[in-house]
């Protein structure tokens, strides 16, 4: 008699336990992401507004979420890189840019930008390789690639002769360029600023709003951005 009674009690307890675990708590039922129903276009728009408002971390999260929900990556990437670089999240910027570059190896402006980010992270060899590939394969000769190589050879690779060659080529291609004073000093063998100014991403048809927008109301940001951060060099 004992065994059938224990078996019956165990079965009742098991059923009761399963029922307790499958019944959602009211608090759990209310934890759905309020942005689940927001379209990719609206996420991107909010990300741009957050960038304009100076909230670059949340801007990155919104724009990254927009891409994951189908917003065209080639249109969103410039704004995403802008948000990452403004927040000094250099590693995160590379995590977004390099997979795209692997799929679009002839995006030369992005490759120069990636090289400059590697320079900011003190990855001199990787930066040099990217820049040399641009000069070797790009249909046009970007002056900025020569400028960055001049900085690399001068400051990181200890080759002042090659630095002078690239600075001279930069001046030949862009005599009124923003780095002309530093390049002229490099040709003369003088030192200059150790860290270059990064190349801006092409706008890809997106322009900043003409009026100062109101940033979106505070909401829990989408939880899908990369978590690695890097301090500004």
- Residues 187, 90, 183, CA angle at the centre, nearest 5°? 10
Per-residue pLDDT, 25: 54
What does the pLDDT read at residue 137? 95
**pLDDT value, residue 10:** 36
SS3 label, residue 83: helix
Q: Which residue has the tokens 């995006």?
A: 107
DSSP structure class, residue 35:
T
d(CA 30, CA 44): 25
Q: How far apart are CA 177 and CA 147, in angstroms?
A: 10
Angle of helix 90-103 relative to helix 73-86, nearest 10 degrees? 160
Task: Show the DSSP H helices in the chain as ranges.
Answer: 2-22, 26-29, 40-52, 56-68, 73-86, 90-103, 108-120, 124-137, 143-155, 160-173, 180-187
Per residue of the chain (233 residues), give pLDDT as tens. Answer: 444 444 443 343 333 444 444 444 555 545 666 677 889 999 999 999 999 999 999 999 999 999 999 999 999 999 999 999 999 999 999 999 999 999 999 999 999 999 999 999 999 999 999 999 999 999 999 999 999 999 999 999 999 999 999 999 999 999 999 999 999 999 998 766 655 555 555 544 333 333 334 445 556 566 554 555 444 44
∠ CA 129-229-70, nearest 5°, is 85
Tokens coding 4: 């059938």
What is the Cα–Cα distance from 165 to 184, expressed in whole angstroms? Answer: 11
Count the neighbouring beta carbons within 10 Å of the beta carbon of residue 129: 13
Helix (H) or strand (E) holding 88: none
Model pLDDT, residue 189? 83
Taking only the tens place, the pLDDT of each residue in 99-112 is 999 999 999 999 99
Q: Is residue 33 a contact partner of residue 221, using CB atoms and an 8 Å limit?
A: no
């Amino acid at each position: 008699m004992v065994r059938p009674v224990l078996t019956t009690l165990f079965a009742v307890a098991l059923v009761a336990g399963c029922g307790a675990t499958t019944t959602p708590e009211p608090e759990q039922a209310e934890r759905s992401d309020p942005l689940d129903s927001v379209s990719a276009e609206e996420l991107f728009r909010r990300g741009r507004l957050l960038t304009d408002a100076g909230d670059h971390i949340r801007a990155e999260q919104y724009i990254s979420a927009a891409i994951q929900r189908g917003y065209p990556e080639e249109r969103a990437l410039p704004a995403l890189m802008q948000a990452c670089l403004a927040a000094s999240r250099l590693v995160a910027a590379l995590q977004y840019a390099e997979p795209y570059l692997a799929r679009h190896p002839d995006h030369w402006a992005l490759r120069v930008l990636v090289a400059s980010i590697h320079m900011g992270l003190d990855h001199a060899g990787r930066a040099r390789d990217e820049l040399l590939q641009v000069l070797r394969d790009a249909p046009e000769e970007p002056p900025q690639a020569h400028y960055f190589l001049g900085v690399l050879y001068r400051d990181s690779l200890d080759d002042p002769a090659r630095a002078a060659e690239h600075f001279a080529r930069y001046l030949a291609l862009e005599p009124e360029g923003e780095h002309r004073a530093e390049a002229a000093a490099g040709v003369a063998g003088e030192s200059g600023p150790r860290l270059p100014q990064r190349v801006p991403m092409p706008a890809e048809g997106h322009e900043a709003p003409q009026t100062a927008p109101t940033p979106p109301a505070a909401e829990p940001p989408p939880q899908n951005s990369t978590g690695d951060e890097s301090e500004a060099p």
